[in-house]
Amino acid sequence: MADRVDKPDRALADERDILVGFLDYDRSAVERKLQGLSEADARTSVIPSGWSMIELAWHLAAMERRWLRWSFLGELLEDPYPDASSTGSWAVPPGLTVADAVAELRAGGEATRRIVAEHDLDERSHVGGKYTDDQPLPALRWILTYVLQEYSRHLGHLDIARELIDGETGE
């Protein structure tokens, strides 16, 4: 069972703690949405666009890795888009389980927390991964805000999909 991560305390004033706190909260909410689903239900699409809950969770893990490691740190990733699919939906590796997707989400959270602890929010992305030196380089603050909005937007999608699968509602 996923440990519930609370939203950051309203008394917090540190931007870094607020951003990381909301990312941790959203990531744990994705995990809770997957909890209790059978592998078959996690792979079942219940919406016209065709994606499944495990595909969306895998997309979120890949998106966070892509933005923090490839885009910000400039790491050369073997495949920055492991979630890409020619169908317009998202793809998951063969044999990927819900537990695997959750492990990737958790690993991404650990990496993000480490990166944020080691870098200033105003620091610009490094050249080498996604960016070349002739492109505008986003700051870590921008990237964290982008990743946060991706999680927040897709959590609404997961809310609806889970309710359609088995009637489960709530955060």
- Give me the pLDDT at residue 1, please: 47
Question: What domains can you pick out in the chain, each with its CATH number?
Answer: 15-166 (1.20.120.450)
pLDDT digits (tens, 9 = 90+) for 70-82: 999 999 999 889 9
% of the chain with per-residue pLDDT over 90? 79
CB count in 10 Å sphere of residue 121: 15
DSSP, res 171: -
Q: What is the pTM of this model?
A: 0.93
Distance CA 58, CA 118 (A): 26
Crossing angle of helices 140-166 and 53-65, in 10° steps, is 170
| Cα separation, 101 vs 62, whole angstroms | 10
DSSP state of 36: T
Read off the pLDDT of residues 114-147 as tens digits, 9 standing for 90 and up: 999 999 999 999 999 999 889 899 999 999 999 9
